[in-house]
Amino acid sequence: MKIIAILILAVVFIILAWIIGQTDDDKYDMIEASATIDRVVYSDTGNAMYYVTFLENGKTITGQSIYYSSSTKALNGGDDVAINYFYTKGGNVRVIILDNTLKPCMNSLKSLSRVLLYISVILFIVAGYLFAGRIA
Q: Is the dihedral of CA 75, 77, 80, 86 positive or negative?
A: positive
Q: What is the mean pLDDT of residues 35-54?
A: 87
pLDDT in tens, 100-133: 778 777 655 566 677 888 889 999 998 888 888 8
pLDDT in tens, 4-16: 888 898 898 888 8
**Containing domain of residue 23, as a range?**
2-135
- Please say whether the beta carbons of 79 and 36 come within 8 A: yes
Amino acid of residue 48: A
Number of domains in the chain: 1
Amino acid 133: pLDDT: 80
Quote the percentage of the chain above a pLDDT of 70.
Answer: 86
Q: How confident is the model at residue 21 (pLDDT cuts 50, 70, 90)?
A: low
Q: Is the pLDDT at 80 greater than 80, yes or no?
A: yes
Q: Is-above-0.85 flag for pTM?
A: no
Is residue 132 within a helix (H) or strand (E), and if so which, with residue range?
A: helix 106-135
- Please say whether the beta carbons of 109 and 20 come within 8 A: yes
> Which residues, including other chains, have CB under 8 Å from residue 86's CB and lie 6 or more apart?
25, 28, 29, 30, 31, 93, 94
Q: What is the mean pLDDT of residues 81-97?
A: 87
